[in-house]
Amino acid sequence: MLRVEVRGSAVRVSVHVQPRATRSEIIGLHGAALKVRLQAPPVDGAANEALVSLLAERLGVPRRAVRVVSGASSRAKTVEVDGTTEKAVRALAARQ
């Protein structure tokens, strides 16, 4: 089950990132986290920027509404998204 937490108007989700993949995509679950493959390398914040862009695009929110709140230098991250719903976030894993 995907770990999602609603905090006021924001939704927090656990994400497991695999950098330097062939393409950027959401591939399902990794334990209780959303598993995301990213083309970007984990250098100078490139993977975090790619993660923010991918999630913003898939959830239909501006990039400024998505931020990494913990795990900036780790594969295990917590991402907070403003302007979306828990249902929309859970649907990301279900579509895969």
Per-residue pLDDT tens digits of the chain, which is 96 residues long: 899 999 999 999 999 999 999 999 999 999 999 999 999 999 999 999 999 999 999 999 999 999 999 999 999 999 999 999 999 999 998 865
Boundaries of every domain in the chain? 4-94
Q: Count of CB atoms within 10 A of residue 91's CB?
A: 12
* pTM for the full predicted model: 0.95
CATH class of 4-94: alpha beta
Q: Is residue 17 classed exposed, middle or buried when 0-12, 13-18 and 19+ CB atoms within 10 A define those classes?
A: buried
Between CA 10 and CA 69 the distance in angstroms is: 12
Q: Is residue 80 classed exposed, middle or buried when 0-12, 13-18 and 19+ CB atoms within 10 A define those classes?
A: middle
